[in-house]
Structure 1
């Protein structure tokens, strides 16, 4: 983990409200938000403006094109965020940005924007681990010490907090769940607007058959590449009726893209629930916090809720991030010469100084 310069510790003597600008752009979503942290420990999200780079159906988003999108939209998104919050750039105490993990070129674009703003307005910078920024939300959902399932486009991890670190209990051994869903959507011909995962979720509700797919848990880890290979095999099966042939009669033993969506969700989410339950048993927790873009999927939340209920537990889900501002309040900032990106920034490398 890159070194950080320690300042006087304002958290132990909180005398005023702090404001931070947070910049996120680790993948195809560009975001800017103004966060307020008060002396009594309360937190307010004053604004949260986003703009998503969407490609035509059947296409993914390339790092170079995604980075260009972030550079083109950064000024508008930041201006909109500041205006909606009713503040000025001079009011800010720090500028926080995603240091990693994520796609290299988009991360570099966001870091560049953060450095320019820091120089223009003489504000300190705080580089944030994208994963920790999401996991931090547990205390703000009244979850005391949950097992965290982090599922997004580039990350799939089961994590729990211990001794000022987030410990990784399980993760994907190849591709992340979000990446798997994106590639699956391209195979079956689903669009990217508003997102491939959302479109898969809606199609899955129409599915009537569960088709056999590889169920690959390796202890506490999972693998997903075999599922994609199996889906591609199904799409060339003579019993498969693609979207373009919806008007044709379905063979008696045939199946549709909706059936594939349904099968994919049930299989992948069952794997995630299994390894999450194992982590809960290991740490003795009855709480699960689901974070990341895939965590918005209602079916995943339902399946996790069934498991948690059987353990007399609870499931929490939220969408706020505070890691940069809390780090700053604890007295940390990222030196200007260390504000480069770390594409493979591991969750367990971060010292969680604000928790005992």
Structure 2
């Protein structure tokens, strides 16, 4: 039996997860929530993580009913993500590994999402749509790499939704994207927005600029409601994501889609993807907010896969990197 503890803190969630051979033993987390109309700054987020991390660690050990002696490896998020929060968590993981005399492993955040998604859903070799506040990528496994087939050429889809939520002063509790999703369900009128797909890639910054401007004009004139704008934004963004995912599936001859990342909890995105999959005779796999949203267990799971295939990170190389590409990692644990 192999037990791995994982520390995640690349954005506004701090999480500590413990995995034992594919079983989630514990997965507590805390979220740093800012007032409506505001995003989260790296220094404030890091301060939040520093204040919470030891409590979350203790909670994870108690929930898993294990002691540090039972743990075989300490995994942490190496990147990508925000510098200050990543650094905070890396220092804690490094300290814990030395105190407990355990090997250390730096994990790619995106691969954490993919491996957790594969474990929970049982997807074999899916085309992966990875959508979150900081990342938007269409990924498929080939020749010991998670190859990126398409991605955003500017901002991530989650960042687009978050920033629009700030324009409308929508609450950040539990998350701006969740609150947009609830408002979109009440939208009736579809407002035409720019649709920007360039081959396998998508662009979201133009849509954001357009809808920000439109929001001020339309809401003043009473032509449409905030709910209509949320509905229109979601439909447009998700149509683009489904299009580039389908193109990657056609290219790979794939019959499975796995949606991961925080935006992947969105039920409307799952519905739209399911329609496309049904038309292609393919299967859709998705998880709920426990595993879609950043969490420690996904880092522990990727760490478990890496550790069992013989990987560890020497202490002198246990740094972080804000820009850490999914395709930079050699996938030693898959055939």
Q: Contact 1:70–1:106 at 8 Å: present in 2 too?
A: yes
Partner of 2:203: 223
1:347 to 309, 326, 329: 326
Q: Contact 2:215–2:229 at 8 Å: present in 1 too?
A: no
Q: Contact 2:117–2:260 at 8 Å: present in 1 too?
A: no
Distance 1:137 1:167 in 2: 18
Partner of 1:28: 12
Q: Could you give the per-residue CA deviations for residues 67-110 of structure 1, whole angstroms, max 9, x where no partner exists?
A: 11111100000000110000011211110000000011110001
Task: Say if 2:219 is the partner of 1:235.
Answer: no
Structure 1 residue 120: Cα displacement: 1.1
Partner of 2:91: 112
- What SS is found at the alignment partner of 2:28? strand
Instruction: Show the 5 A alignment for 1:167-182.
Output: 167-182=147-162
- What SS is found at the alignment partner of 2:62? helix
Select the structure with the greater relative contact order (CA < 8 A; seq sep ≥ 6).
2
2:311 to 321, 332, 338: 332
- What SS is found at the alignment partner of 1:161? strand
Structure 1 residue 355: Cα displacement: 0.5
Q: Could you give the per-residue CA deviations for residues 142-172 of structure 1, whole angstroms, max 9, x where no partner exists?
A: 2221100000111000000011100100000
Distance 1:184 1:240 in 2: 14
Structure 1 residue 325: Cα displacement: 1.1
Structure 1 residue 138: Cα displacement: 4.8
2:40 to 38, 50, 61: 61
Structure 1 residue 236: Cα displacement: 2.0
Q: Contact 1:138–1:144 at 8 Å: present in 2 too?
A: no
Q: Contact 1:210–1:260 at 8 Å: present in 2 too?
A: yes
TM-aligned CA distance change 1:138 to 1:61, over 3 Å: closer
The TM-score normalised by the length of structure 2 is: 0.95
Distance 1:350 1:91 in 2: 28
Larger Rg: 1
Distance 1:228 1:311 in 2: 31
Root-mean-square deviation over aligned CA pairs = 1.1
Instruction: Show the 5 A alignment for 1:1-356.
Output: 17-37=1-21, 43-140=22-119, 141-237=121-217, 239-240=218-219, 251=222, 254-318=223-287, 319=291, 321=298, 322-356=301-335
Distance 1:182 1:272 in 2: 17
- What SS is found at the alignment partner of 1:97? strand
More helix, by proportion: 2
**Segments ≥4 residues shifted beyond 3 Å:** none
Distance 2:216 2:80 in 1: 36
Q: Contact 1:287–1:313 at 8 Å: present in 2 too?
A: yes
Gaps of 5+ in 2: 292-296
Q: Contact 1:31–1:77 at 8 Å: present in 2 too?
A: yes
Distance 1:106 1:143 in 2: 31
Q: Contact 1:138–1:146 at 8 Å: present in 2 too?
A: no
Distance 2:117 2:215 in 1: 40
- What SS is found at the alignment partner of 2:140? strand
